């Protein structure tokens, strides 16, 4: 499978085989030394919107491959403020780097960047649209923790309406034989068109606003943050904000193998008392972000095959 110079813009650009190949590559290199592999390569990391976690994860991945990193993490300090178009910014940066990672506050920015250059572009989040490396690391984490993806019961809880990570992960999981549960307040339900796409691929799912009754069935619970700004009515927010906080008590009937994931940062949706339990997998998930991004960068650069 050839990934050299490919763009990584949207999870929907990748077939099931390609997704598995990326996961397999990450698995293969996980405990292998990689220093110096990319010592003549430069990764540009262009963050038009701050996201410290994602940026550090990409930079760590590139450093571990022995490559160099340049870029910016503050939109205010770039010339875009002075009116330079994204197209022109990319045309400039392509002279300085071999692979370009972009995070942008506008939907579609990564695709535009990819069209502006022959150099491979990795989308590290474009507005509320896509964040494919997050989806790949989520899949990697699930497979790593359970040894498989097929036949798992996977629940999503929190803001399922605006949650980009949830939408992409659900779409990627539709390549597999899984049972999905979408648990959220009425106002933050999974968008109808995404549910229709799951139905079209014969994925079984349940939509509910109650979490307790589904806990015993789950192998994975993917939690996301409920943000106050998503609510027009403050009372509505107050009513639902604490209803999905995961606690030890709530997990009383959970399978011992249940794993809780979260794209981080969390606020209060997962009680800290769970951090030391075997359910907590969110920090491990963040760790796997580096190896998955190493795999992706290495595949695009052609050092992993």
Partner 1 sequence: MNNERKHIGFIEQGTVIDHIHNESIFKIIRILKLDYSQALVFVGFNLDSKRISKKGLIKIEEIFLDDETLSKIALIAPDATINIIKDSKVTEKKKLILPDSFQGLMKCTNYNCITNKENVHTKFLVQDKINRIFQCYFCETKIHDNEIEIIREIKEKT
Active-site amino acid positions: 53-54, 82, 103, 131
* Residue 108 sits in the site that holds partner 1 (CB under 8 A): yes
Interface with partner 1 (CB under 8 A), residue from 42, 56, 106, 206:
106
Residue 127 φ then ψ, to 5°: 55, -130
Interface with partner 1 (CB under 8 A), residue from 130, 134, 141, 224:
130
List the end-to-end C-alpha distance of the chain, in Å, as a whole number. Answer: 7
- For 182, residues 6+ apart whose C-beta sits below 8 A from its C-beta are 155, 156, 160, 170, 189, 190, 195, 205, 206, 207, 208
Interface with partner 1 (CB under 8 A), residue from 17, 107, 150, 238:
107
Interface with partner 1 (CB under 8 A), residue from 123, 129, 134, 285:
129
Closest approach of Cβ 222 to partner 1, in Å? Answer: 21
Closest approach of Cβ 167 to partner 1, in Å? Answer: 10
For residue 53, CA distances in Å to 5, 58, 60, 69, 134 come to 25, 9, 10, 16, 11
* Residue 10 sits in the site that holds partner 1 (CB under 8 A): yes
* Residue 126 sits in the site that holds partner 1 (CB under 8 A): yes
3 is written with which tokens?
């990934």
Residue 92 φ then ψ, to 5°: -70, -50
8 is written with which tokens?
């990584």
Closest approach of Cβ 24 to partner 1, in Å? Answer: 27
3-state secondary structure of 23: helix
3-state secondary structure of 259: strand
Q: How many residues bind partner 1 (CB under 8 A)?
A: 19
Interface with partner 1 (CB under 8 A), residue from 38, 112, 190, 281:
112
Where in 178-197 is the site for partner 1 (CB under 8 A)? 193
Residues that bind partner 1 in the complex, under the rule CB under 8 A: 10, 12, 85-87, 104-109, 111-112, 126-130, 193
């Amino acid at each position: 499978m050839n990934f050299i110079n490919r763009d990584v813009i949207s999870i929907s650009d990748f077939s099931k085989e390609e997704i598995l190949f990326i996961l397999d590559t990450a698995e293969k290199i996980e405990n292998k030394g990689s220093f110096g592999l990319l010592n003549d390569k430069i990764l540009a990391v262009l963050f038009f919107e701050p996201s410290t976690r994602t940026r550090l994860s990409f930079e760590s991945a590139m450093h571990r491959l022995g490559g160099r990193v340049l870029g910016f993490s503050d939109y205010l300090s770039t010339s875009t403020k002075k009116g330079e178009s994204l197209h022109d910014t990319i045309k400039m940066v392509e002279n300085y780097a071999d692979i370009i990672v972009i995070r942008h506050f506008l939907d579609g920015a990564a695709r535009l960047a990819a069209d502006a250059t022959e150099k491979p572009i990795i989308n590290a989040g474009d507005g509320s649209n896509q964040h494919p490396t997050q989806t790949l690391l989520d899949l990697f984490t699930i497979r790593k923790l359970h040894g498989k993806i097929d036949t798992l019961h996977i629940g999503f809880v929190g803001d399922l309406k605006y949650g980009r990570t949830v939408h992409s992960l659900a779409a990627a999981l539709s390549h597999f034989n899984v049972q999905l549960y979408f648990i959220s307040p009425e106002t933050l339900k999974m968008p109808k068109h995404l549910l229709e796409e799951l139905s079209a691929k014969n994925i079984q799912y349940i939509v509910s606003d109650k979490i307790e009754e589904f806990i015993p069935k789950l192998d994975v619970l993917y939690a996301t943050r409920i943000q106050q700004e998503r609510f027009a009515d403050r009372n509505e927010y107050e009513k639902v904000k604490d209803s999905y906080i995961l606690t030890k008590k709530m997990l009383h009937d959970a399978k011992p193998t249940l794993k809780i994931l979260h794209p981080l940062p969390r606020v209060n949706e997962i009680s800290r008392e769970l951090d030391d339990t075997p359910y907590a997998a969110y920090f491990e998930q963040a760790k796997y972000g580096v190896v998955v991004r190493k795999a992706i960068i290495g595949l695009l650069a052609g050092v992993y095959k």
